[in-house]
Amino acid sequence: YYHPSSTKGSVLANNIYDALVDLTDLAPKETQYGAHLYVIRETVSPAVIVETAFISNESDRNYLLSTNGQNKIAEAIFKGIKKTIEE
């Protein structure tokens, strides 16, 4: 999620999304506006909320509980942030 008026937030969200798709076994939803979310709406910095998976989905839950899954998600978020900074 990102704020619709934040160009940098949109870029950050899309870079993290792309890295999640490339590096993980997850099928995340597309990026979405998060203007209704307080932490997105009230910040002055580019901000995103990353929803990686759902614990109610057995496959997602197992991936989230695995060391490999956690490492891949962390790596994807890192790469998305790094790409945004480098742009």
How much is the average pLDDT of 53-77?
94
Vertex 21, ends 73 and 50: CA angle to 5°?
50
Length of the chain: 87
Q: What is the pLDDT of residues 32-51, one digit of tens each?
A: 899 899 999 999 888 999 99
pTM of the complete model beyond 0.85? yes
Say if residue 75 is exposed, middle or buried (CB neighbours under 10 Å; 0-12, 13-18, 19+): middle
Whether residue 27 has pLDDT greater than 80: no
| Cα distance between residue 58 and residue 55, in whole Å | 7
